[in-house]
Chain A
Amino acid sequence: MAGRRVLITGVANPFGARLADRLAADAAVERVVGVDTRPVDPELAERIDVVAADLRSAELPPLVRAAAVDTVVHNDIVQFPELGRPRAAIHDVNVIGTLQLLTVCGGLPTLRAIVVRGSAAIYGSEPAAPAFFTEEDADRFPLRTRFQRDIGELERLVGAFARRHPTVRCTVLRLQPVVGRDFDTPVNRLLRAPVVPTVLGYDPRVQVLDAEDAVGALRRAVLHPVRGPVNVAADGVVSLSRALRHARSPALPIAAPLWGPLVSAARRAVGQPALPDEIARYLRYGRGVDTTRMRGELRFEPEHSTLEALARATGFERPQADRRHQNARPDAPRR
């Protein structure tokens, strides 16, 4: 497919900005249109077409039709309050925004593919879970938290759209928690906090995704769209204690009944938004996903393993870091 025309929603958030940047530099992409209500980095805005519109407004459809895009990247999906996306608007942005966007997409004769930045949070974090969730396991457990219900609804909408429009390839990338130095994600904030509140007596298996790999997977899905959901995660599932040691983030174990009240009080005190419930469950029960589809169908290989991604996020990258750790006592003093 030569001369691709790509529309990216939520282009002002770091995922959107990095993706737009990389696609604009790609010879196969003719045009990148970014949609956001928030201001876009001026340097980037020069290289792409920015449309300052809300997904939920009436002005969007004619603009999109005029751009004659063949691929839509739905990236305006919010897990916790961020700049320009207050708490009360999250559900609206995630679900109503998607609904409106898909309505617009339905009237686009040029459309070939839709790529959605979804989340592996749809599987939840469950004690009795499969050790590696496959794409078919999404409805195995009830959707327990607000964000889970949002992305569950979102995937249902995308699935319904895909059935009605068989010519459009619809992909939902289910990303494991993304960590990266310049990316403001819930897990990232946790890692960079002075101490990470863990749950006393629990040491779950965790798996993350490097931010650059997240952008790389989105790019890959734009250039080579596949159908259906695809898990995207770094290599390696590690225990939380090992992950935190590797990232040099000190852990503070708190007994489960006190965990919720203490953590929300501490975060209020420092002016941070409350931790999303699915992150609280992730810290207690963890999650691993199967990446067979990512490798086999999407043909994407992440560059950084889980441990590397964690070290990169906190700025403690060390070559052969793991070897050092094997000899270090777990309680050895940190630098």
Chain B
Amino acid sequence: MTEDDWGFDADFVRTVSPLLDALYTRWWRVRADGVDHVPATGPALVVANQAGGQPWDAAMLATALRRHEVRRDDPPRFLAHGRAFELPWASTALRRLGGVPAAPGNAARLLAEGHVVMTFPEGGRGSGPGYARRYRLERLGHGGFVELALRSGAPIVPCALVAGGPGPVDRVLARVARLPRPPVPLPVLPAPARWRIAFGAPLHVAHHGPDAAEDRALVLELGEEVLARVQEKVYDSLVNREGAL
């Protein structure tokens, strides 16, 4: 047992990593570009779009970093919807994999401790819109992640995910369980479409100082900037995807 105070369990991750590796290489045939943009030391906030549905998005991002030996001694943590922690088994698995409820304070504390934190600010809206808009990003929350980065001084690493998205079975199950669909992990694997992960160059915001978090104009501007960078990477990845299947 090597869990830390957050409930992250490195042994558990080691145990399930063959499974995650199989999903990574065989099922979704993930290709990850720009993993070097994640800083080798110190805190960082990875901001990604929601594409495959949680917890698979976070798991594959973490697997990508692990396979490229980035932050090997300090695997990334991720923020998950609070409702996910109401579920039996899934709550425990999420926590052991590095998931933390997206409550105020949690992300700030993780960054203060120097961890890499992955967040998916699209939240429930992420894969909500119809099929035609599936690669168009939704508004990235209300800029909470920008405030977080400004307060902690951590760089923002934009990250684009192109994936198949949750399948129809997922939607039906979620409706039956009456849960908000995308952020809540369901024991259903998204379709084996080809995935692309692209990390972008980090956006350093530390020079604005922690007080800039109160500056709404700046927060919105930086939020738009990150959204644009992620969207651009999504389109790039689509072009280079070599077909969905």
Contacts and interface: CB of A to CB of B under 8 A. Distances in A.
Q: Which of B3, B86, B103 has its CB near the most chain A CB atoms (within 10 A)?
A: B103
A237 B5 contact: yes
B107 to A, nearest CB: 10
Contacts of B101: 127-131
B7 A237 contact: yes
Contacts of A229: none
A129 B82 CA distance: 8
Contact of A134 (B1, B5, B105): B105
B88 interface: yes
A137 interface: yes
A21 interface: no
Given A200-B88, A201-B89, A130 B7 contact: no
B17 interface: no
Given A127-B82, A130-B105, A134-B105, A239 B91 contact: no
B105 A132 contact: yes
B7 A205 contact: yes
A326 B1 CA distance: 6
B104 A127 contact: no
A239 B5 contact: no
Given A242-B1, A242-B3, A325-B1, A128 B88 contact: no
Nearest to A127: B85
B106 A130 contact: yes
Given A128-B83, A200-B88, A239 B109 contact: no
Given A236-B5, A326-B1, A132 B109 contact: yes
B3 A238 contact: yes
A256 B88 contact: yes
A127 B91 contact: yes
Nearest to A253: B88
A203 interface: yes
A205 B95 contact: yes
A308 to B, nearest CB: 15
A152 interface: no
A302 B109 CA distance: 22
A238 B3 CA distance: 7
Contacts of A128: 82-83, 85-86, 101-103
A238 B85 CA distance: 16
B159 interface: no
A237 B6 CA distance: 7
Interface in A314-332: 325-326
Contact of A137 (B100, B102, B105, B109): B105
A199 B87 CA distance: 11
Contacts of A130: 101, 103-106
A237 B2 CA distance: 12
A238 to B, nearest CB: 7
A236 B3 CA distance: 10
Interface in B76-98: 82-83, 85-89, 91-92, 95
B104 A202 contact: no
Interface in A176-206: 199-203, 205
A239 B104 contact: no
Interface string A49-88: 0000000000000000000000000000000000000000
A238 B7 CA distance: 7
B180 to A, nearest CB: 12
A132 B106 CA distance: 8
A288 interface: yes
A71 to B, nearest CB: 33
A203 B92 contact: yes
B91 A202 contact: yes
Contacts of B106: 130-131
Nearest to B92: A203
Nearest to B9: A239
Interface string A250-277: 0000001000000000000000000000
A43 to B, nearest CB: 41
A205 B9 CA distance: 12
Contacts of A239: 3, 7, 9, 92
Contacts of A203: 92, 95
Contacts of B102: 128
Nearest to B101: A128
28 contacts: A127-B82, A127-B85, A127-B101, A128-B82, A128-B83, A128-B86, A128-B101, A129-B103, A130-B101, A130-B103, A130-B106, A131-B100, A131-B109, A132-B5, A137-B105, A201-B89, A201-B92, A202-B92, A205-B6, A205-B7, A205-B95, A236-B5, A237-B6, A239-B7, A239-B9, A242-B1, A288-B5, A326-B1
Q: Which 10 A-B pairs have the closest CB atoms?
A: A128-B82, A201-B88, A127-B85, A127-B86, A203-B92, A130-B105, A201-B89, A237-B5, A130-B103, A128-B101
Given A127-B82, A130-B101, 8 more contacts: A128-B101, A130-B106, A131-B100, A132-B109, A202-B92, A205-B5, A237-B7, A256-B88
